[in-house]
Structure formats: C-alpha cells, structure tokens
C-alpha cells in the first residue's frame, strides 16, 4: 500500500499539534482557490483520496514557503468533490476566497495509522526513503530519495552512486522486489537508465 506520504514528527508546544511520537503522512497540497466560498484545489499525494480526504477527516496543515498564513493548524474536511480530474476540498474553518488564498501552498497531513499486523503487506512511501537500490546482479545503483505518486504511475527518485537523480517507473517489470525487512529495492532497469 502506498499512501504517497512523507513522515513528519510533531514538535513544539502548539496545543493542536500531535504528540512527538505521532507520525504524519502527507496526503495533499492546497492549490488555488475555486470559487468564492473557500473551496480549494488539491494536489494529491495519496492513492486513497476518498478515504483520507472524506468529509469529517481532520488534517494537519503545514504552511509552505509561499503560504501567507504561516501558522500550523488543523482543518476539517466538510466536502470533497471532483471537477474533471481536479480534487476540490471545502474546510469547516475556511469560508471565503481570501481564507482559501491564505492557505495556498500548504501541505496537508494525516496522523499515520498504527499497523497492528506486522505481517500485513504494504508500506507507506516515506518508509522506503533511504532504501538501497540494487540491480539483479547485486550491484548498488543508488539510494531511494523519494517516491512520487502520479495519476498514471508512481516514480522512484533514486540518487545514483555517481550523485545524479534518476527517475524510475515503479512498475513490476523494472522493480520486481521491495524488501522492506532488509531495506532494499531490486531493480531491473533498461540499458542506459543508470
């Protein structure tokens, strides 16, 4: 299971912040306002938007570099809908276009669910960061920097042993194995990719 997430730890004395032991999963980034009643577009980082961004979901908002409202807050989703292929969100705390514009560029997180069954298959993308990437002969190709969740397919961003960033489609033919226990990703890349 990839949730298109990125681990974050809460800190500080903000009463709305999660405890230091809680882990956050990145689910979306707030885009431009849509209309005049506070609705916003959202760039998704999750493969489960209907569940993670459903009405009633409480999201942790971390301001981006260009966000005018620089405070970390909680936002409660009141409505999620689609305009063609664009996800639109309404929040209880945002009632007009100015409020929506002030949040532009913020990243939205959810508290990471605790995985009860260690045998359960799957992972969150942030858990793969730092994994060693090997070819089928066992030669090290690099280290996973990031997993980018896309609409058509996911991409692995790998820092190669030479220091270059290489984007690899996360498909079974090229990535036949993810060994979570040993923190390794086996790759069978086409010639010339690395």
Asked if residue 184 lies in contact with residue 131, where contact means CB atoms within 8 angstroms, the answer is yes
Residue 150 banded pLDDT, cuts 50, 70, 90:
low
Question: Which CATH class name applies to 129-187?
Answer: mainly beta
Q: Provide the residue ranges of all domains of the chain, joining segments of one domain with +.
A: 19-111, 129-187
Question: How far, in Å, CA of 32 to CA of 100, rounded?
Answer: 8
Q: How confident is the model at residue 20, as a pLDDT? A: 44
Asked if residue 5 lies in contact with residue 108, where contact means CB atoms within 8 angstroms, the answer is no
| pLDDT (mean) for 112-121 | 52
For 61-103, how does the pLDDT look when each residue is reduced to its tens digit (9 = 90+)?
999 888 888 888 899 999 999 998 899 999 999 999 999 999 9
Same fold, 19-111 and 129-187: no
| pLDDT (mean) for 141-154 | 82
What mean pLDDT value characterizes the chain? Answer: 82
Q: How confident is the model at residue 154, as a pLDDT? A: 82
Asked if residue 1 lies in contact with residue 122, where contact means CB atoms within 8 angstroms, the answer is yes
The CATH number, out of the four listed (3.30.1780.10, 2.40.30.60, 1.10.10.60, 1.10.1040.10), of the domain defined by the range 19-111: 2.40.30.60
Question: How far, in Å, CA of 189 to CA of 139, rounded?
Answer: 12
Question: How far, in Å, CA of 84 to CA of 77, rounded?
Answer: 20
**Where would I find the beta strands (DSSP E) of 36-172?**
40-44, 58-62, 73-83, 86-91, 107-111, 132-135, 140-148, 155-160, 165-169
Question: How far, in Å, CA of 135 to CA of 122, rounded?
Answer: 22
For 12-49, how does the pLDDT look when each residue is reduced to its tens digit (9 = 90+)?
444 344 444 457 788 999 999 999 999 999 999 888 88
Q: How confident is the model at residue 19, as a pLDDT? A: 42
């Amino acid at each position: 299971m990839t949730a298109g997430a990125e681990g974050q730890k809460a800190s500080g004395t903000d009463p709305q912040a999660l405890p230091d032991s809680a882990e956050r999963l990145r689910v979306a980034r707030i885009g431009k306002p849509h209309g005049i009643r506070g609705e916003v577009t959202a760039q998704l980082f999750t493969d489960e938007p209907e569940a993670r961004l459903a009405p009633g979901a409480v999201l942790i908002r971390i301001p981006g570099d260009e966000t005018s409202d620089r405070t970390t807050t909680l936002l409660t989703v009141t409505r999620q809908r689609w305009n063609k292929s664009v996800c639109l969100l309404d929040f209880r705390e945002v009632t007009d276009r100015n409020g929506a514009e002030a949040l532009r560029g913020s990243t939205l997180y959810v508290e990471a669910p605790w995985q009860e069954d260690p045998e359960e298959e799957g992972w969150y993308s942030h858990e793969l960061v730092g994994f060693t990437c090997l070819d089928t002969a066992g030669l090290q190709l690099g280290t996973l920097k990031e997993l980018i969740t896309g609409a058509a397919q996911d991409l692995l961003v790998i820092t190669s042993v030479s220091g270059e960033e290489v984007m690899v489609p996360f498909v079974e033919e090229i990535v036949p194995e993810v060994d979570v226990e040993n923190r390794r990703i086996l790759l069978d890349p086409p010639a010339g990719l690395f």
